[in-house]
Amino acid sequence: MSPDAPTPPPGDGRSPGRFGSDQGWPRWTIFVIVAVVLGAIGLQVLASSTSSTSTSYGEFIQKLESNDVKGASDGNADATFNNTNGAISYTATDGTKYDTTGPLQPPDADQQLMTEKGVDFSTPTDSVLSTLLPLLLPVALLIGFFVWMQRRAQGQMGGIMSIGRSKAKTYSSEKPATTFADVAGYAGVKQDVTEVVDFLKHPEKFGEIGARIPKGVLLVGPPGTGKTLIARAVAGEAGVPFLSVTGADVRVMLVGVGASRVRDLFQSARKMGRAIIFVDEIDSIGRKRGAGLGGGHDEREQTLNQMLAEMDGFEVTTGIVMIAATNRPDILDPALLRPGRFDRQVVVPLPELDDRRQILDVHVKHKRMAPDVDLDLVARGTPGMSGADLSNLVNEAALFAVREGSSEIHKRHFEEARDRVLMGQRRESMALSDLEKEAIAYHEAGHAVCAAVLPTADPLHKVTIIPSGMALGVTMQLPTEERHIYRQDYIEDSLVVRMGGRIAEDLVFDVVSTGANNDLVGATELARKMVREWGMSSRVGPMAWGSQGQVCLLYTSPSPRD
């Protein structure tokens, strides 16, 4: 069994006596019964069949008269006459066996001859098996059909009765093999969750001083940042049972079933003593409760109420730590986030430069890398990428190397993979006219010149006029360092770089084209933020009207580099 093989939770809903269960018949029982019946029939057929030669009744009488039947001369002929069907079987003097069929009432002369020669007149009795089998087989089939129907009904009833059982996967004796060493970067996040591990390993150390460990830890961050991986690492480090469930497994259409599953989940954890309960995508059941229609009777709200009671209600849940993950912290119910339930929120942000470098080291560990690959440069060129994005980037680079027939992954493969991830597949077969190619070249050259001469702009990295994805050309800049705040001069230079392509077209061709559409969209959004949110307008002054963007971490507002 693999280390991550889940152990079935107690009370998995299987009915007693069902085929394959621990208390009922094994699954191979029905096959054994069928094999025994078929074997008995086959043996009966083989026993009744003999290797003999067919002949006529007259020939039998002739051989009997001429003593050509074995033992006929001594009055003890090796012959048998069946009174029920007239079947005759005999053995000739040369040892050959014959069989034939005579009349049920032979002529008197023939009957006297057979009597003198010692022919055995008998009425053979069938064996008990051959007699009862035709009667017992239909009865057995009928009984088996009713038993099968009963088992099926019990199984369906057991499935209905187990609908309120928890669907959590339990990892107990075979704990997850993931540890903090497998989680690259995120030193601050690992420091926050290390206290949970220490409490589960040494609870007496916290009890002596009177400290109380957080009952719940909420991991908040964008998708792909490794929230589930961190939860598995906590379970692997603590060495305690780990129950994993998703919000979709708890919430169902039937009212009250979700609350029943939550109760069963915590009951299973209490039986294990110390345990970790991990709920992924908790926002599907932890949304804010509202008044009005459906208030208090909605299935989701009943499930949430039960979870609130289990985490911090009258019944103490000592030794049970709940870890949840979400990228929608803004919609969670305030009662779920208060101290005593989810005491601690751990933000798992997009990785910084050093974190991306460590994540890349993990993903290239078992890949054949060429000496010209500079992972520091790759980490610099992937700002805003999550751990999942970096894993996909390394895999795309390996795929490019395989397509090229290379035995190693080179620097150019990472460049192609990054272009593929950020911009899409290259469209080298796209037919462009010479005028279009010239316009694209001057457009990208305008971006490149502005990026090269402006003092605060990010350094120029690459310019291409090969269509990729939806773009006909791309000018790529690489930041020299991670930025968390943006100065006004940097943003203004970013606006100039964005508009450089359109200005270059106007200067060279005295006319503009639609090629600057994406540049105008980005520049307009950036200028709007400068005025509405960042207070960088001298005419409007230092005022902000708030963001119109999404609050969800799935959607982030564009940065000045977008």
Kindly report which listed range (18-22, 252-256, 404-408, 494-498) carries the lowest average pLDDT score: 18-22
Please tell me the predicted confidence (pLDDT) of residue 496: 93
Please tell me the predicted confidence (pLDDT) of residue 484: 80
Confidence grade of residue 57 (pLDDT, cut at 50, 70, 90)? confident
CA dist 236 and 176 (Å) reads 5
Place of tokens 């005759």: 88
Identity of the amino acid at 21: S
* Per-residue pLDDT at 462 exceeds 60: yes
Q: Find all residues with CB under 8 Å of 363, minimum gap 6, and list them.
A: 390, 391, 394, 395
H/E run at residue 37: helix 29-48
Identity of the amino acid at 170: T
| Burial class of residue 360 in the structure, from the number of CB atoms within 10 Å of its CB (0-12 exposed, 13-18 middle, 19+ buried) | buried
- Neighbour tally for 326: CB within 10 Å: 23
pLDDT tens digits, residue range 166-212? 555 555 545 556 777 777 777 778 777 777 777 777 777 777 777 77
DSSP annotation string for 437-502:
HHHHHHHHHHHHHHHHH-SSSPPEEEEE-S-BTTBS-EEEE--SS--SS--HHHHHHHHHHHHHHH
- Return the DSSP state at 249: H
CA dist 384 and 556 (Å) reads 10
pLDDT tens digits, residue range 470-502? 778 888 888 877 788 889 999 999 999 999 999
Q: Cite the active site residues.
A: 444
Please tell me the predicted confidence (pLDDT) of residue 500: 92
pLDDT tens digits, residue range 289-339? 765 444 444 667 777 777 777 777 655 556 778 888 888 888 888 888 888
CATH 3.30.720.210 for domain 50-122, yes or no, is yes
pLDDT tens digits, residue range 367-426? 889 888 888 888 888 888 888 888 889 999 999 899 888 889 998 888 888 888 877 777
Highest average pLDDT, of 19-33, 154-168, 359-373, comes from 359-373
The reported pTM is: 0.59
CA dist 397 and 370 (Å) reads 12
Sheet holding 344-347, edge to edge: 169-171, 242-246, 275-280, 320-326, 216-220, 344-347
Domain borders along the chain are: 50-122, 169-347, 353-422, 434-532
Strand partners, 91: 97
Rounded mean pLDDT of the chain?
75
- Return the DSSP state at 7: B
Contact 424, 479 (CB under 8 A): no
Compare 67 and 317 and report the one with higher pLDDT: 67
Contact 390, 363 (CB under 8 A): yes
For the chain, report the end-to-end CA distance as a whole number of angstroms. 48
Q: What mean pLDDT comes out for the span 277-292?
A: 76
Q: 3-state class of 557 per DSSP?
A: coil
How many Å separate Cα 138 from the centre of its chain? 46
Measure the CA angle with vertex 314, ends 311 and 317; round to 5°: 45
CA dist 147 and 516 (Å) reads 75
Q: Tell me the H-state helices in 344-431.
A: 353-363, 375-380, 387-404, 411-422
Please tell me the predicted confidence (pLDDT) of residue 445: 92
Q: Say which CATH topology domain 169-347 has.
A: Rossmann fold (3.40.50)
Please tell me the predicted confidence (pLDDT) of residue 528: 92
Which CATH number does 353-422 carry? Answer: 1.10.8.60
User: Phi then psi for 281, rounded to 5 degrees?
Assistant: 55, 55
Instruction: Supply 386's token pair.
Output: 């999550």
Give the homologous superfamily in CATH for domain 434-532: Peptidase M41 (1.20.58.760)
Percent of the residues in the chain that have a pLDDT greater than 70, as a whole number = 75
Q: Find all residues with CB under 8 Å of 410, minimum gap 6, and list them.
A: 370, 372, 373, 401
